[in-house]
Chains A and B, each alone.
Chain A
Amino acid sequence: KAGVTQTPRYLIKTRGQQVTLSCSPISGHRSVSWYQQTPGQGLQFLFEYFSETQRNKGNFPGRFSGRQFSNSRSEMNVSTLELGDSALYLCASSAQGFGNTIYFGEGSWLTVV
């Protein structure tokens, strides 16, 4: 069974630009969540989707948004990039999203210059 797939793996953007990251969950998983990891920080929750509905959102500015498609694939978008947005963005999927284990992809490394 294929794991969680994230694309692109690495990208460099300029301040003010926007970026879209993509995530394909494990087959059969309907919950997708996104986390940000910055140096020295743990993983910070961004948002979670289940059946195309956002069920929870973390404490991030509105520049961070996401969506989920009917095939459970998900995208997250960051607009008006700031230097502080440089981070590893991790997508995770789970079968139900409630009390279930979440499985992570390899992540997308975003560098904002």
Chain B
Amino acid sequence: DQQVKQNSPSLSVQEGRISILNCDYTNSMFDYFLWYKKYPAEGPTFLISISSIKDKNEDGRFTVFLNKSAKHLSLHIVPSQPGDSAVYFCAASEGGTYKYIFGTGTRLKVLA
């Protein structure tokens, strides 16, 4: 039972263009969402979060959009840089459960 899904295992984008990473979830009780970037042999690095009371959150080149009716969130990276090449995970949490459910990740490759 995969409650959080990242249906695109990989994505390639040209440097300077927009990268859009998608994440779908099934549990309508999820109320907090996170995005992480992970390089090989390192722990995940927090990028940006969004609470279910918002539909957008921005931090520099990173913007997360939440569509609660569609149970969908997306991470936009503009402009994409070669250093953004990594695996990106979305995660969701239901308040009071103290745990996050992670997607299986999308490998982003930014081409110079």
| Number of chain B interface residues as a range | 20 to 34
Within 8 A of A (CB), among B70-112: 89, 91, 93, 95-105
In the assembled complex, the CB of A3 is this many whole angstroms from the nearest CB of chain B, namely: 9
Task: Decide: A43 and B89 in contact? CB cutoff 8 A.
Answer: yes
Task: Decide: A90 and B43 in contact? CB cutoff 8 A.
Answer: yes
Query: Nearest 8 pairs between A and B by C-beta?
Result: A104-B43, A42-B102, A43-B102, A42-B104, A48-B98, A45-B99, A99-B32, A55-B98
Mask for A84-113, Cβ within 8 A of B = 1, else 0?
Answer: 000000100000011111111111010000
The answer to the question of A50 belonging to the interface, with a C-beta cut-off of 8 Å to chain B, is: yes
Smallest CB gap from B99: residue in A: A45
**What residues on B are CB-neighbors of A42 within 8 Å?**
4, 89, 102-105
Task: Decide: B31 and A104 in contact? CB cutoff 8 A.
Answer: no
Q: Which residues of B contact A (CB under 8 A)?
A: 4, 31-32, 34, 36, 41-46, 49, 51, 89, 91, 93, 95-105
Q: In the complex, which of the residues B34, B43, B96, B105 contacts A106, with contact meaning CB atoms closer than 8 Å?
A: B43
In the assembled complex, the CB of B100 is this many whole angstroms from the nearest CB of chain A, namely: 7
Question: Count of A-B contacts with CB under 8 A?
Answer: 62
Q: In the complex, which of the residues A45, A50, A105, A106 contacts B100, with contact meaning CB atoms closer than 8 Å?
A: A45
Contacts A33-B100, A58-B99, A106-B42 aside, 16 further interface pairs with beta carbons under 8 A come to A4-B43, A33-B98, A35-B102, A42-B102, A42-B104, A45-B99, A50-B98, A56-B97, A90-B44, A99-B32, A99-B51, A101-B34, A102-B34, A102-B100, A107-B42, A107-B43
In the assembled complex, the CB of A21 is this many whole angstroms from the nearest CB of chain B, namely: 13
The listed residue with most B CB atoms (<10 A of its CB), out of A40, A41, A101, A107, is A101
**What residues on A are CB-neighbors of B102 within 8 Å?**
35, 42-44
In the assembled complex, the CB of B20 is this many whole angstroms from the nearest CB of chain A, namely: 19
Q: When chains A and B are docked, how far (Å) is the Cα of A68 from the Cα of B34? A: 25
In the assembled complex, the CB of A83 is this many whole angstroms from the nearest CB of chain B, namely: 21
Q: When chains A and B are docked, how far (Å) is the Cα of A102 from the Cα of B103? A: 16
Task: Decide: A99 and B95 in contact? CB cutoff 8 A.
Answer: yes
A-B contact pairs, 13 of them (CB 8 A): A41-B104, A42-B102, A44-B102, A45-B101, A55-B98, A90-B44, A99-B51, A99-B95, A101-B46, A102-B34, A104-B43, A104-B44, A106-B42
